[in-house]
Amino acid sequence: MKEGDLDSKGNWVSQYIAIQRTKEMDETIIKNWNSRVQDEDIVFFLGDFCLSKSSEATDSRKDAFDYYRNQLKGDIIFFKGNHDGNNKCKSIIESMIINHGGKIIFIVHDPKYINKDIIWNFTGHTHGKYGKIRKQDKNIIVDLSVENWDYRPVDINEIFQAYSEWCRRGNKNE
C-alpha cells in the first residue's frame, strides 16, 4: 500500500488502485514463495489460499486457485480456511498433528481451535494481528500468516529460531 491509496475512512480511493496493489502483493508473494520453495519441498498451507477470481482484473474470468497454484513450486498440503469455500481449494483437512524432531505440533487454520493438550500450535487466519508468537496458558501459538513472515513461506527451523529469539527478548518460556 502506498500513501494516498486510502481515503480518510480507510477505503480504497479507487477500484483501479485496489486492483493494482493486490496485483503487486500477489506478484511479491509468488516471487518470495518460489525463491524459497523447491519443486520437491512439502509446504503446509494453513488456509485462505485465495479468493474465487484472480486479481488480474475485476472482470477476470481466470480461476484464482488454478492461476496461483500453477505458479508455485512445491507439493502443497492445503488446510481448510474460512475463505476457501468459494475457490477450488477443496481441502478437507481441518487440523493435523505432526511429530517433528521430537516436538508434537498441532496445525490448524484458526487459532480459536488450537489443541490445548499440545504445547506447539501452528495457525494462520489472523493476518498478523497478534504477532508471530504468543503464549496462551501453556500453549505456544505460532501465527504463520504471511504478514508475520515477510510475505514468504517459512521453514520449520526458522519458526523454532524465532521462538528462541522471542524467549531471549524476555517473553516467558514456561
* Tens digit of each residue's pLDDT (9 = 90 or more) over 128-173: 888 899 999 999 999 999 889 999 999 999 999 999 999 998 876 5
DSSP-H helix ranges across the chain? 15-36, 64-69, 156-168
What's the CA gap between 53 and 57, in Å, rounded?
9
Fold for 37-168, please state it.
Purple Acid Phosphatase; chain A, domain 2 (3.60.21)
Residue type for position 141:
I
pTM > 0.75: yes
Q: Which of 134, 130, 166, 165 is nearest to 147 (CA)?
A: 130
